[in-house]
Amino acid sequence: MFHLFGNILTHHGAAANNRGENEGNITPLQKLEWKGNTHTTVSAEAIRWALRYYWQRVGCNVNRRWSDETNQFSFTDPGFDPAKFIDDDVLGFMRVEGAKLENSEEPSKATRKRPKGTKVNRRGVLEVNRAISTTPFVGDITFNAVSGEKGRTSLYGTEVHATRYQYGFAMTPERLSTKSHVLAVLDGLVSLSDVAGNHARFLYDFSAESIVLRWTHDFSPRLLYCFKQDEAETLSAIDLIHRIEAGDIDPKELWVGGKGTRNLEDWGAHVFPGVKAAVEALKQTISRDMQLS
């Protein structure tokens, strides 16, 4: 059984969050402690949201559709159908309903037993971890002013981080109801744009600038967060090379492209100048190995 793993590095940009209606005077970025320093982070839920929205915009059959007019989701089929909808198949779903009671069905005080509700769920085949900035956050804040009612001026600050992000993903395509959906997953992850929450209106290019993909029978990815960026902003995949040297990863299982990946060619990996070329080459291999039409 084949497994698909990947580590994606985004373009360099200025990450920020626009002020929501109920925010305070400072609009923060999410943060975590990473290897002894404070880094900013983007949630896996935001990445999954952007992937579903990408599929919607390119015309894939999605069940949960986003409306820019109403600023909310609507379902085509509340019952879900992984054989029909790509998001139900790849990302999974869950619907929980409480039991409906008639007056005659009220539980007695002696038993306190109630009928059980129902749950319809499917575990997502695609797993995504948090995106973490390649550089520590030093606390940059911009200060802004907006005019309100009766000429009042509201002052607020916005945290800004000029950085790249990297994140990983994993999936086993055999678990998909429609096996060819794995190809749409690769197309989407390499081309994400709006990853910042639904009230954000800033532009941050979350598409891949560099990518490492692994098509393997191994159960473990062994390549997550493998990119490094030094003080001169030089990119490398030195951790990945160490794992190849140690024999933990067969370089023939790797398809890589973009900045910081050229030296992997010396180790026997499939190396391409850009990320799209690497994805297209791997898609051909996946289609052959899984006999996709």
pLDDT at 53: 92
> Strand pairing partners for 42?
131
Is residue 32 within 8 Å of 39, Cβ to Cβ?
yes
Give the global pTM.
0.87
168-206 in b/e form (b: 16+ CB < 10 A) is: bbbbebeebbbbebbbbbbbbbbbbebbbeeebeeebeb
In what helix (H) or strand (E) does residue 75 lie, and over which residues does it extend? strand 72-75
Token couple for 106:
């009220």
Alpha-carbon distance 266 to 285, whole Å? 21
User: Shortest CA distance to 159 belongs to which of 180, 175, 144, 179?
Assistant: 144
Query: What crossing angle do the helices spanning 44-58 and 181-189 adopt, rounded to 10°?
Result: 110
Is residue 170 within 8 Å of 212, Cβ to Cβ?
no
Is residue 83 within 8 Å of 61, Cβ to Cβ?
no
Token couple for 18:
């626009």
Averaged pLDDT in 10-residue chunks for the chain of 293 residues: 97 78 69 96 92 95 90 87 95 72 57 64 92 95 76 79 96 97 97 67 83 97 94 89 96 95 90 96 98 88
Taking the domains of the chain in order of start, what are their residue ranges? 3-94+119-289
pLDDT at 22: 45
pLDDT at 288: 97
pLDDT at 198: 45
pLDDT at 237: 92
